[in-house]
Amino acid sequence: MKGKLVRTEGHLANIIPIHLDASFFFERAVRSLDRNHVDKALKYFRKAVEYEPENPVNHCNMAGILSEKGDYKASNAILAHVLDVVDPSMTECYFYMANNYANMDQFEEAERALVTYLEEDTQGQFMTEAEEMMELLYYELDRPAKLNRIKSRQGVVEHDQARELLEEGKFAQAAELLEGMSPDYPDYLAARNNLALAYYYMGLFSKAKETIADVLEQEPGNLHALCNLAIFYQNENRTDQVLLLIKKLRAIVPFQHEQVYKLATTMGILGQHDAAYIHFRRLLKGEETATDPALAHYAAVAAFNTERYDIAKRLWHHVNKLDPGSEVARYYLDGLEAVIQGVQEPSKLSYHYHLPFDEQFKQWEDYGNGIPEEMKNDPLIRSSFFWALRHGDQATKLQVIHALGIIGDYEVQQALQLFIDEPGEEPALVKAAQAVLHDLQRVEHPELNAEVSQPLTPKAEALKTVPKVSKKEITGIRLGKETSPHWQAVVDRALQMSEARAELQQEMERIWTDYVSRVRPDLSGSKQIEGWAAGLEYLASKNRSRPVTYQSIAERYGISASTVSKYARQLNQICSVTPPNG
């Protein structure tokens, strides 16, 4: 713009007029922020709002500066004005408000704002941050948020919940959740594939195959569906169809971890052990998967099945180091040695990270009714039981029925009821299943039998069946044969980092002793030790009313605040420590 000559008191002056508008003040505000002049920036944003009151961006910028200055209440007032008057579609304002409420320790209000953001926002710009905040609020409020859906991830939440249920061996619950998703998300093929797996693990092959057919009709090249279909065909002894699918699958070289894993396990199940070995070894080279004991076991099985005995031996020793509390590697190493010595004929091993079915029964018989919860809840053990209930011989089915009676949860009751309703089963087996189911229902509903005592809560039941470890055993952990040195390392690390007084030291030792006696965790890495120690210090400090925050703990341990929250929450769930909010 050229200057204009004007006369001022007899003089000529070169004047450049300034056009004052919202853009002018916005630029001045940004320049002030760059120079860390926060008060000036706030003043300029206020002027920008005056010139363009209908522009929500400047309102939000002003709210952001007020939040930085610690005036969270004023910041939220502006954000509420944006949502009520200026632009109700600015759903990210709910996320900003949740942050402000959390900084004011108003966790109920923070939760409401955050839930509204997740349920109304379509873009998911702050999804990662929102999930981390949700985890913090879970601990502060000592309960999960009442979140019905995440709009930016339609169907993803339900699918993730279903996947967790599958991983926990809760196949009937996973199927129910995925069935409910199907009408709303007909194109969500990953959910349909997992529904087929849920049916498969429950032994409902016809429903599993129908579901896979639906997926392949929409996407003929879907790798997960092709793998599942090949396994279904193998179960039906449809050799020609299996061979055609094997030829197609052997030509595929996927790069995504999940697809490589799926293809590797499928090829193993189909007896293509050479291909399975190649894919499993590819996965073991990955940084994130190199320390997975189950994956190393699968690679060992593939090596054994292709007569690479030296490699199999090295891999099972590696499994034993990664998972020292498991008996799986030791069992297979003994079998491998018998094969090498010529004492035992080699036979193909299955791709499951648990003991063979007969060996599981021996262990269950040894444990009796005191079976540890982690064994009851092992999804591979549970799926093998459900499988055998459907497809085993009569003697095996009878064993499974009695074993399931020990587990006795919702999944078991569903499986037993399906077995009873199945036409063509042996009357004696149906009668045994009815008896077990009846006993389980009497315990769950004592009004059905006056002689049945009040049932224990799930937590009390877990404490009844898991063998306790005395405090003496925990504090003297280095001397015990069956205890992990990492357990003591956790409390040692917490004591070292906290430099705590005697009272807090005792509280940390008390909580950790209580937790280990109930859960007996297997800690395999230094990162886990740091996480447990940080969570332990936070929980003990809160329980003793000492001022502490996730962030302050996280900074000292060199981990994230969400990690501190994660481990503190796990401790609190088992030990029922309920610290004050703060």
Confidence at residue 303, expressed as pLDDT on a 0 to 100 scale: 95
Instruction: Give the whole-angstrom CA distance, residue 478 versus residue 197.
Output: 43
pLDDT band of residue 188 (cuts 50, 70, 90) is: confident
pLDDT of residue 499: 62
Long-range contacts of 414-417 (CB under 8 A, 24+ apart): 414/172, 415/172, 415/202, 415/386, 415/389, 416/440
Q: What is the pLDDT of residues 236-269, one digit of tens each?
A: 888 999 999 999 999 888 877 888 999 999 999 8
* Buried/exposed 485-515: b ≥16 CB within 10 Å, e otherwise: ebbbbbbebbbebbebeeebbebbbebbbbb
> What DSSP designation does 237 have?
T
Question: Residue 229 — pLDDT band, cuts 50, 70, 90?
Answer: very high
The pLDDT tens digits of the residues spanning 134-162 come to 888 887 887 777 766 665 556 666 777 78
pLDDT class of 34 with cuts at 50, 70, 90: confident
What is the per-residue pLDDT across 333-387, written as a single tens digit (0 to 9) for each? 988 999 998 888 888 888 777 666 555 555 555 555 555 555 556 655 666 677 6
User: Could you tell me which of 438, 431, 396 has the C-alpha nearest to residue 413?
Assistant: 438
The residue among 503, 506, 563 whose CA lies nearest residue 533 is 563
d(CA 429, CA 570): 41
Candidates 303, 235, 293; CA nearest to 273 is 303
Residues of the chain with CATH 1.25.40.10: 22-141, 155-252
Whether the pLDDT of residue 33 is over 80: the answer is: no
pLDDT exceeds cutoff 80 at 406: no
What mean pLDDT do residues 432-451 have?
Answer: 66
Q: Examine the pLDDT at 403 and tell me if it is beyond 90.
A: no
pLDDT: which is higher, 533 or 466: 533
Pure H helices in 186-292: 189-201, 205-218, 223-235, 239-250, 257-269, 273-284
**Residue-averaged pLDDT of the chain:** 76
Confidence bin at 457 (pLDDT 50/70/90): very low
What pLDDT, on a 0 to 100 scale, did the predictor assign at position 568? 84
Query: How many other CB atoms sit within 10 Å of the CB of residue 216?
Result: 16
**Looking at the predicted structure, is the pLDDT value of residue 426 above 50?**
yes
pLDDT at 74: 92
pLDDT beyond 50 at 474: no
Q: Which residues contact 387 (CB under 8 A, 6 or more apart)?
A: 201, 203
pLDDT tens, 479-534? 223 334 456 778 878 887 776 566 777 788 888 877 776 666 656 555 678 888 88
Write down the pLDDT at residue 308.
94
Fold of 471-575: Cyclin A; domain 1 (1.10.472)
463 has pLDDT over 70: no
What is the second-level CATH architecture of the domain 382-464? Alpha Horseshoe (1.25)
d(CA 113, CA 102): 10
Q: Domain 22-141: which CATH class?
A: mainly alpha
Q: For residue 317, what are its two tokens?
A: 């020793």
> What is the pLDDT at residue 183?
73
From the options 1.25.40.10, 2.40.160.10, 3.40.630.10, 2.60.40.10, give the CATH code of 155-252. 1.25.40.10
- CA-nearest of 18, 17, 43, 15 to 28 is 43
pTM exceeding the 0.85 threshold for the entire prediction: no
CATH 1.25.10 boundaries in the chain: 382-464
The partner residues of 11 in beta bridges, in order of sequence, read 8
Confidence at 453, pLDDT banded by 50, 70, 90: very low
- 8: DSSP letter: E
- 128-132, 180-184, 212-216, 476-480: least confidently modelled range: 476-480
